[in-house]
Amino acid sequence: MVKRSIVGLVIRVSPVALAAIVLIAGGQPALAATQLSQTGTVGPHSIKDTASSPGVSCDYKHKSPGSFGKLVFIVVGRPKMRAVTGWTNQIVGWKFTVQRRTVTEGGPGPWQNRYTSKEQTSPASENTNATFSNRGVQVIAGPPMTGASYEYRVLLTMFWHLKDGSVQGTVKERIDFYEDSENTGPTAEQDHECDAWVSFS
C-alpha cells in the first residue's frame, strides 16, 4: 500500500473532467481521457482512463517498508483507434509527452515538456482497430527536495495519416488517472499525476 507523503507540500484536489464517450468495438461506450484539442478529420478512438483502469502507471522503486519510493518509470496505456469512415487501410498512430512541474508550499509552477516519444503507427480500417503496444519511458527524478517536489503528467496525441504520409487529423488528450506501482508489486492507489517521491508503509 502506498501512502502519499511529500514533505512540505500543501494537499490539494485535482478536478477530474467528465470523460468523453466514444463507441468502439461491440458498440460499448469507452471512457476516454480529457480531450484538449482536435484538428482535421479523425476516426473513432478511445483511451482507457478511469479510476478502476488508470491510463498511466507510475513505477516506483524503494528499498524497505517505510522508506521513500523514487519514480523510475512511467508506462502509458495504448489507445484504441480506427480509420476515418470510408478507409479500408489507413495508417494511424500515437505518441505521448511527459510534462513536469515543481510544486512548493506556495503552489505549483507551470507544466514543462520533458520527453516526447516517437510515433507508434499501425494500419487500421473503419471496422478494425489498429494494433498498438503500451509505451513507457525511464524517469530520473533526482533526490528528494525539502519543501518542494516534482510532479509528472502525460499528454497523448493520436494521428490519422493520408496516403502520402501527411496528417489528416489529430486528437490530443490529457490522461487523468494514474496508478502507483512499486517494485514489490502493484497497488490500488490512484492520483492525477505521478509524484517524484512517495512514502511506502
Question: What is the model's pLDDT at position 67?
Answer: 65
Question: What is the model's pLDDT at position 201?
Answer: 57
pTM: 0.80
What is the rounded CA–CA span in Å between residue 15 and residue 34?
A: 11
Domain residues for the domain of 10 are 2-200
Residue 175 near residue 33 (C-beta atoms within 8 A): yes
- Cell matching residue 2: 502506498
**Amino acid, res. 8:** G
Q: Of 98, 105, 109, whose CA–CA distance to 74 is shortest?
A: 98
pLDDT 10s digits, 154-194: 999 999 999 999 999 999 999 999 998 876 555 545 578 99
Number of structural domains (the chain) is 1
- Cell matching residue 120: 507508434
pLDDT at 19 over 50: no
pLDDT at 1 over 70: no
pLDDT 10s digits, 91-104: 999 999 999 999 99
pLDDT 10s digits, 29-68: 345 589 999 999 999 999 999 988 999 999 988 766 566 7
Number of helices (H), then strands (E), in the chain = 0, 19
Question: What is the model's pLDDT at position 116?
Answer: 98
Cα 71 to Cα 112, 143, 163, 190, distances in angstroms: 18, 11, 40, 14
Question: What is the model's pLDDT at position 20?
Answer: 34
pLDDT 10s digits, 109-162: 999 999 999 999 999 999 999 999 999 999 988 777 778 889 999 999 999 999
| Higher pLDDT among residues 90 and 70, named by residue | 90
Mean pLDDT of 83-98: 97
What is the rounded CA–CA span in Å between residue 79 and residue 144?
A: 33
Helix or strand or coil: residue 54?
A: coil
Residues 6+ apart with CB under 8 A from 63: none
CA angle (107 as vertex; 142, 153 as ends), nearest 5: 55
**Amino acid, res. 1:** M
Residue 113 near residue 159 (C-beta atoms within 8 A): no
